Amino acid sequence: MKKISISILIMMIAGYCLYCGYLMYRNYQLQNSKDQRILLVYNKSSLRNSAYILKAYESVLIEEGIPFEKVEVHLLMKLSAKKIARNSSAIIFPDGLVQHIPEELHNWVNEYMESSGNIAVIYDAGIRTPRGYYLEKAFFAEIIGINYITYNKYRKDAYAVGSLKFASAKKADYFEIPTSSIDRGLFLISSPYGKLRFPIARCDYTKSIQEVNIFAYLLTQEGEKYPAILINKYGASNILYVNLPLGYINAKADNILLRHILKTFLVKTFM
């Protein structure tokens, strides 16, 4: 019995050592790879219920021929932001997959962007505490200029349903949205259903944002108007924020928005 216990202990230690070795190799590879690729971030605690969203992003990136690599958010903050910026020109924080982001990542993100890295923040990234409670202010609120979690203010009305309207025909064309998918009022439509309606977050501005940086708005039935797609500058870097659950929409309905928004940001905006 004693020999069996010792054997099990040795196997556990060996397994742990192998895992630590794998993590060291993984960290080195992420920081020192010569191949350019996008990083797709997820929180392992979200995979149980939202793995299908991760697959939606993977599918679109693969189909568009955009090299990428998945990375767990807690591993990301252990890496050198400056080194990551050299071989990962953009990081995507998807909807549904990183609702909790460790506070320690704030400085990491700032350093990454100061090193000319670009970020895409989708819908609800960084809105919860580790225990699942809503934050008073979203993780990226100050960087983006919009606080997209307003539960403390609106409670159950922090989320709503809205129609997507592009700010101009030129801005719709920038994202290569097919003209057949836009009506005369610049609303996104689907024949024969008319205007499409999406889940959205009621949000507040944390700083002034120029109209030129807002590409589309969301309009509720009550007449409220919220930014839907915006691209801000942060020094030499770009920040995309989308107030739509793109991965969820892609998985449940259509991939036109996820495909065109990601492709435009990753291929056209800064490359």
DSSP codes of every residue in 88-136: -SEEEE-TTT-SS--TTHHHHHHHHHHTT-EEEEETTTT-B-TTSPBPS
- Do 18 and 125 lie in a common domain? no
User: In this predicted model, what pLDDT tens digit does every residue of 10-27 receive, in sequence order?
Assistant: 655 644 444 334 444 444
- Do 39 and 26 lie in a common domain? no
Residue 128 pLDDT class (50, 70, 90 cuts) = very high
Q: Which residue has the higher pLDDT, 22 or 191?
A: 191
- Do 125 and 250 lie in a common domain? yes
CA distance 239 to 120: 6
Residue 192 pLDDT class (50, 70, 90 cuts) = confident
- Do 16 and 70 lie in a common domain? no
- Using the Cα atoms of residue 260, residue 266, residue 267 and residue 268 in order, give the sign of their dihedral: positive
- Backbone torsions φ then ψ of 7, nearest 5 degrees: -60, -45
* Mean confidence (pLDDT) of the chain: 89
- Do 7 and 122 lie in a common domain? no
> Based on the structure, what is the number of domains in the chain?
2
- Do 38 and 14 lie in a common domain? no
* Eight-state DSSP code of residue 209: -
CA distance 204 to 210: 15
Least confident of 34-38, 61-65, 156-160: 34-38
- Do 138 and 21 lie in a common domain? no
Q: Please count the other Cβ atoms lying within 10 Å of the Cβ belonging to residue 75.
A: 14
Say whether pLDDT at 271 is over 80: no
In Å, how far are 16, 55, 141, 241, 255 from 215, measured between CA atoms?
49, 27, 18, 10, 19
- Do 147 and 64 lie in a common domain? yes
- Do 79 and 188 lie in a common domain? yes
User: In this predicted model, what pLDDT tens digit does every residue of 130-189 receive, in sequence order?
Assistant: 999 999 999 999 999 999 999 999 999 999 999 999 999 999 999 999 999 999 999 999
- Do 5 and 57 lie in a common domain? no
Q: What CATH code is carried by the domain that includes residue 199?
A: 3.40.50.880
Averaged over 31-37, what is the pLDDT?
67
Say whether pLDDT at 213 is over 70: yes
CA nearest neighbour of 94 among 201, 240, 254: 240
Length of the chain: 271
- Do 22 and 79 lie in a common domain? no
- Do 18 and 54 lie in a common domain? no
Q: Which domain holds residue 241?
A: 34-269
Check residue 253 and give its pLDDT: 81
Residues 6+ apart with CB under 8 A from 1: none
CA nearest neighbour of 233 among 217, 218, 212, 216: 212
